[in-house]
Amino acid sequence: MSELTLVLIRFAYLAILWILVLSCISVIRSDMFGARVAREGARGGGRQRPDRGEKRARSKPAKPRRGAPTQVVIVEGGNQGETVSLQDAPLLIGRGNDAAIRLDDDYASTRHARIASSGEQWYVEDLGSTNGTYVGTSRITQPTAIQLGTRVRIGKTVLELRK
């Protein structure tokens, strides 16, 4: 085995090692920016330019459909009467400072629940709160769809979606 071959093997091996590192990083990169938008991407099929799908999704909620909920109203509890616009959804509900709907309710957790939309549908999701989030009478364990007027109970507070 000549000295030259060994030197070549040495550098080739280091190159392979770095190619692995760099390709791992490039897969992570495409993972960061390449996530498809759910509905549009699935409909278009195949690989879509991610930025195009993103643009379309962003232009969609510009004009809310007639009859779609636009605000959350607190109908019972310490903050009764407060309304919050749904425009900057997802909304975080809880006692914490960073909550969009800040509740003055001893039975609510710091980060209690979240209201978010998927397409036209609004969902409420419990964020691991201590006392739970109730839609109607049942405690929810997964993101649950809510309509106009569905009563969402958090501690002693009741929220509703309104037009």
Partner 1 sequence: MSSPGPSTASRGSGFVHRRRRGAELVLLLLSLVVGVGAYAAVGLGVDGTLPVDLLTHGLWLTVLLLGCHVVLRRFAAYADPVLLPIVGALNGLGLAMIHRIDLGRQARNPDAAAFASTQLIWMTLGAILFATVLVVLRDHRRLQAFTYTAGLAAIVLLLLPLVPGLGRTINGSRIWIGIGPLSFQPGEVAKVLLVVAFAGYLVLHRDALALAGRRLLFVDLPRGRDLGPILGMWLVSLGILVFQRDLGSSLLFFGLFLVMLYVATERPGWLVVGGSMFAVGAYLGYLSLGHVQTRVAAWLDPFDPDVNAYQLVQGLYGMGWGGLVGRGLGQGQPQITPLGFSDFIIASMGEELGLTGVMAIILLYGILVERALRTALICRDNFGKLMATGLGVVFALQVFVVIGGVTRLIPLTGLTTPFLSQGGSSLVANWAIVALLLRISDQARRPPPELVAGDDELDSDATQVVNLR
Phi, psi torsion values for 54, nearest 5 degrees: -65, -40
**Cβ distance 65 to 148 under 8 Å?**
no
Site string for partner 1, 90-109 (x = CB under 8 A): x-x-----x-x--------x
Site for partner 1 in 111-140 (CB under 8 A): 111, 114, 116-121, 123, 127-128, 130, 135-138
Distance (Å, rounded) from C-alpha 95 to C-alpha 100? 10
Phi, psi torsion values for 93, nearest 5 degrees: -115, 135
Site string for partner 1, 20-59 (x = CB under 8 A): xx-xxx-xx-xx--xxxxxx-xx--------------xx-
Element (H, E) at 50: helix 50-59
Task: Determine the size of the site formed for partner 1 (CB under 8 A).
Answer: 67
Phi, psi torsion values for 59, nearest 5 degrees: -75, -15
Q: Residue for token digits 């979240």? A: 114
**Residues at the site binding partner 1, with contacts judged by CB under 8 A:** 1, 5-7, 9-11, 13-14, 16-21, 23-25, 27-28, 30-31, 34-39, 41-42, 57-58, 65-67, 89-90, 92, 98, 100, 109-111, 114, 116-121, 123, 127-128, 130, 135-138, 142-150
